[in-house]
C-alpha cells in the first residue's frame, strides 16, 4: 500500500473530534516553536512597518485613497509571503518533513494546522500594519478590517499548499513567490475594492467566495501534492 493510500486509510480515524484535536496539536506545536525561537513574527513585523514607513514618504501628498489602499495591500501581501517561506522551516531544517507526513494523522490536518498558525502570525502583524496605516494615511474602517480577515484566510489557505509544494525543491525561495503571487491577484483586487467601495459588499462576497473555493481545493489536494 502506498503512503498516500495509507494516509487515506487514516482519514476520519477518531472522527471530527480527533481530526480537530490533531489540528490543534500541530498548530500549537508551530506556535510554541515560534514563541521560543521568535524567528517569524519579529521579521514580519519589522518588514511591514518598514514598508509602510517607506510608502508614507514615497507617496506624494494628496494621493488618492485607492493608492494608499493599494500600498497597504502590497505591504500585507509581501509580509504574508515572508511568513509563508517559514511555514515548513522547522520541519525542513531538522529533516523532519517526511516524518511529519508519515505521522498518524490525516495529511489535510497538517495543512489546516499550518493555515491556522500562519493566520495567527499574519493577524498579529496586521495589527501593526493597520496602526501604521491609520497613523500615516487614513482611518481604518470596518470594511477594511473585514477585507483583511477574508484576505488573510485566502492567502494562508493557498500559501500553506504552495509552501508545501515548494519545500521539497532546492529553489523553494523562487518557486513560492512564482506560484503564490499570481494566485493572490484576486485577493488583492477584492481587498482593495472592499476597502474603497464600502457600500455594496460585493467585494467582500467575492473574497468569501475565493476563500471557500480555494480552501476546499487546497484541503482536498494537499494529501496528493505532498505525496508526489
- pLDDT tens for 52-86 read 888 888 777 666 667 777 888 888 899 888 888 88
Residue-range domain boundaries for the chain: 3-227
- pLDDT tens for 143-184 read 889 999 999 999 999 999 998 888 767 777 788 888 899 999
- Report which of residues 60 and 117 the model is more confident about: 117
Q: Kindly report the number of other CB atoms within 10 A of residue 106's CB atom.
A: 22
Q: Inform me whether the pLDDT recorded for 28 exceeds 80.
A: yes
Q: How far is CA 24 from CA 27, 110, 115, 204, in A?
A: 5, 10, 11, 28
In the chain, what is the greatest distance between 2 CA atoms, to the nearest angstrom? 64
pTM over cut 0.75: yes
Q: Which three cell numbers stand for residue 44?
A: 514580519
Residue by residue, DSSP assigns 29-52 as HHHHHHHHH--HHHHHHHHHHHHH
Q: Inform me whether the pLDDT recorded for 7 exceeds 50.
A: no
Amino acid at each position: 500500500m502506498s503512503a498516500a493510500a495509507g494516509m487515506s486509510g487514516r482519514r476520519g480515524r477518531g472522527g471530527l473530534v480527533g481530526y480537530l484535536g490533531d489540528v490543534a496539536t500541530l498548530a500549537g506545536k508551530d506556535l510554541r516553536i515560534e514563541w521560543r525561537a521568535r524567528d517569524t513574527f519579529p521579521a514580519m513585523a519589522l518588514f511591514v512597518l518598514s514598508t509602510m514607513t517607506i510608502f508614507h514618504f514615497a507617496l506624494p501628498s494628496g494621493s488618492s485613497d485607492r493608492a494608499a489602499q493599494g500600498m497597504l495591500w502590497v505591504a500585507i501581501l509581501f509580509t504574508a509571503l515572508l511568513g509563508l517561506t517559514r511555514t515548513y522551516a522547522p520541519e525542513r531544517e531538522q529533516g523532519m518533513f517526511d516524518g511529519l507526513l508519515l505521522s498518524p494523522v490525516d495529511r489535510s490536518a497538517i495543512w489546516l494546522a499550518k493555515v491556522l498558525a500562519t493566520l495567527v502570525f499574519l493577524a498579529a502583524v496586521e495589527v501593526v500594519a493597520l496602526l501604521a496605516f491609520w497613523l500615516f494615511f487614513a482611518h481604518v474602517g470596518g470594511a477594511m478590517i473585514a477585507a483583511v480577515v477574508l484576505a488573510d484566510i485566502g492567502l494562508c489557505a493557498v500559501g500553506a499548499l504552495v509552501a508545501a509544494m515548494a519545500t521539497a525543491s532546492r529553489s523553494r525561495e523562487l518557486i513560492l513567490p512564482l506560484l503564490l503571487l499570481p494566485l493572490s491577484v484576486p485577493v488583492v483586487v477584492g481587498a482593495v475594492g472592499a476597502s474603497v467601495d464600502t457600500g455594496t459588499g460585493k467585494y467582500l462576497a467575492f473574497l468569501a467566495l475565493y476563500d471557500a473555493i480555494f480552501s476546499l481545493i487546497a484541503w482536498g489536494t494537499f494529501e496528493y501534492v505532498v505525496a508526489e
